[in-house]
Structures are given as C-alpha cells and as structure tokens.
A and B are shown apart, each in its own frame.
Chain A
Amino acid sequence: MSVPTTVRVQADPFDPGAEATAFHAAAGPAGAVVTFTGVVRDVAGGLIAMEIEHYPGMTERAIADMAATATARWDLTGALVIHRHGRLTPGEPIMMVATAARHRAEAFAAAEFLMDWLKSRAPFWKKEVTAAGAAWVAARPEDEVALTRW
C-alpha cells in the first residue's frame, strides 16, 4: 500500500501548526502523529541570519529516497518533510518532519530516522551571518555517528 508522502523544499516560510493540522487530516487511520520543527537558533548571541544553500534536484530526490525508506521500514500512514532554503532569521522554522502511524513507537522512530538522515545526507549547507561576518557551519561528527544506529 502506498503511503501518502509529501516532500517540500521551499524558500517561503511555513506555519508548523497549520501544516500539522493539514497533515493529520490527510494521513490515513493513525493513532499517533509525531511532528518535529527545527528552528533557527542563536545560541552564542549575535546571529543576524542563517543562509541555507541547497542542490536543487538532488535535494528533493535525496529526501524522497529517505521518506521511501522510512515508509518501507515502519508501518506509517503518512510522512511529511518540509525544508527551507535561502535567508532565515533567528526564531524562524527551518524544517519540519511529521509522521503518522497506528502506534506511537513507529511514528517516533520514523521521525527520528528522517531527522538523522536529513542532517547529514540531504544536500543543504548552512551559513551563519553575524556582525563579525559570515561563516559556514561545520558538520558535526556526532551527526555522522547518529546514522549508525539505523
């Protein structure tokens, strides 16, 4: 059975609440809906913007492959991935993952799987812009390690 799966890579902002409501309405007979929203954070202070570059074409394809893997591995009734690119400011949602399943364990596992893979296998690159200048964010070794648990 094919599972409703949506992948959107976009410059425009999105409303995580509205997306969650629409996702829930469109998902199949789920007993559990998990949503995760990633937000531009300003941990050190002084972040003016986050610029996100991506590889048009490969990005959509890579995420669709991840979503297909997730729906094959877990008994999901729906999956959604939204990821923005372009210039974002602190506090703005960058990305969102939603999964629906009959039981929560599957929805949580699939959402975590998608998050872990998006971090280091979807072709996005973040650049932090501060008053001191702009710098590319380095990949973290622990994000690579996180993939080994799947």
Chain B
Amino acid sequence: MTTTLDVLYFAWVRERIGLPRERVTTDAATVADLVAELRAREDRYDLAFADTTALRVALDQALAGFDAPLAGVREVAFFPPMTGG
C-alpha cells in the first residue's frame, strides 16, 4: 500500500544526506525496505545507510528495529547511536 511518511535525519545522517527531513511516498512494508529504496536513490543516501548497524531508527518517536513494519506509521527518523547525558 502506498503511503506518505515524514522521514527525519539527525546528526551525521542529516549531514550526509544534506537535509533534516523530507516527505517520502513509498510502498515499503518495513524500515529495511524503506532503507533499500532510499539507498537506490542517490550516492549520498547510499553512503548514509551503508552500515545500518551504526544507525538507529524511531517510528513515531519510539525506538524500533529495522525489521519493523511501517503500517500505520507517520514519522520515521534515522540517526546514529545517541550521546546524551
């Protein structure tokens, strides 16, 4: 099913892709499918997502796995491991 997502990027993911957020219309069923779609777009996406073990993902502002389904999701965020505190 085609859906439109707000996709957000933070820290070096944002810098590599060159924008903080965008709307993406996709048929992707899971986060991993969405990543594959983005990587196929352009080198800057391919580079940013080259190693997903170095990345974290949040769906509607809650941490999730790359195998998580996107059904019902509005907002997807990609970022490196967090360094707060």
Task: Report which A residues bind B (CB closer than 8 A).
Answer: 38, 53-55, 57-58, 61-62, 83, 94-95, 115, 118-127, 136-139, 143-144
Contact = CB atoms under 8 A, between A and B. Distances in A.
Nearest to A139: B81
| Interface size grouping (class) on chain B | 10 to 19
Given A115-B85, A138-B83, A144-B81, 17 more contacts: A53-B14, A54-B84, A55-B8, A58-B61, A58-B62, A58-B77, A62-B61, A95-B84, A95-B85, A119-B82, A119-B83, A120-B81, A120-B82, A122-B82, A123-B77, A124-B82, A125-B80
Interface of B: 8, 10-12, 14, 58, 61-63, 77, 79-85
Chain A interface mostly helix, strand, loop or mixed? mixed
A33 B79 CA distance: 35
Nearest to B13: A125
